[in-house]
A = this chain, B = another copy of it.
Amino acid sequence: MSDNDCRVTLMAVATPLFAEKGFHGVSVRELAKAAGMNLSMISYYFGGKEALYAAVLSQQFATLGQVTDIKALAMDPLGKFERYIRSTVERYRKNPYLLRFYTSELTNPTPSFQLIVKPAIREVLVVLQEIFNEGLAAGQFRQGLDPMDTILALAGMINFYFLLEPVTQEMVNHAPQRDEVLVNHLMDIFTRGVAV
């Protein structure tokens, strides 16, 4: 196995384990066994368990950067918000572990929180705020709405839906086929909630 294969394999194997059990919930023995490698390989390739975790986290949160692209699209602000919701759903579908790292770091932060997680989430919030202000300036949104409260409400609707999946799986159809309906429902509520 080449250098890079080992690194890739270790990260691929570590991602679901860290996501489902948390940093302290996984041991290097478990990681190495799952990767079919000797436990010393983790120190050899990454410098230790914490460095491997940081590498996984960086990879996961890099996908949040796509949100920045939405700002430049040739759409009206509501269209951009819809794009945000849709891309968030797609992101969680393509990467089922991101939300776990997201909330795990928010509630039980590791040293990587300040360095990786906080800046990544902040960037998303800044972009959403800019989109909101754009719509406000264009007279599309009601006066009196607090920009931050409003975009946090929007982000909360979609993120909380996925966060509660372990509780709602027997109450809600979580099949991806229903994603489009969900997006429409949320945009429906949000649009009537904020438009003039």
User: Could you tell me which A residues sit within 8 Å of B by CB distance?
Assistant: 19-22, 24-25, 99-100, 103-104, 106-109, 113, 117-118, 121-122, 125, 145-146, 148-150, 152-153, 155-161, 163-164, 166-168, 171-172, 181-182, 185-186, 188-194
Contacts and interface: CB of A to CB of B under 8 A. Distances in A.
Given A155-B160, A166-B106, A194 B189 contact: yes
Given A25-B24, A148-B171, A148-B172, A103 B163 contact: yes
B22 A125 contact: no
Given A150-B189, A153-B160, 15 more contacts: A21-B24, A25-B108, A99-B107, A106-B166, A106-B167, A117-B167, A118-B167, A121-B167, A146-B181, A148-B168, A149-B161, A153-B157, A155-B160, A157-B160, A159-B160
A196 to B, nearest CB: 11
A185 B149 contact: yes
A195 to B, nearest CB: 9
Contacts of A145: 185, 188-189
A115 to B, nearest CB: 13
A171 B157 CA distance: 20
A122 to B, nearest CB: 6
A125 B194 CA distance: 25
A122 B167 contact: yes
A81 to B, nearest CB: 13
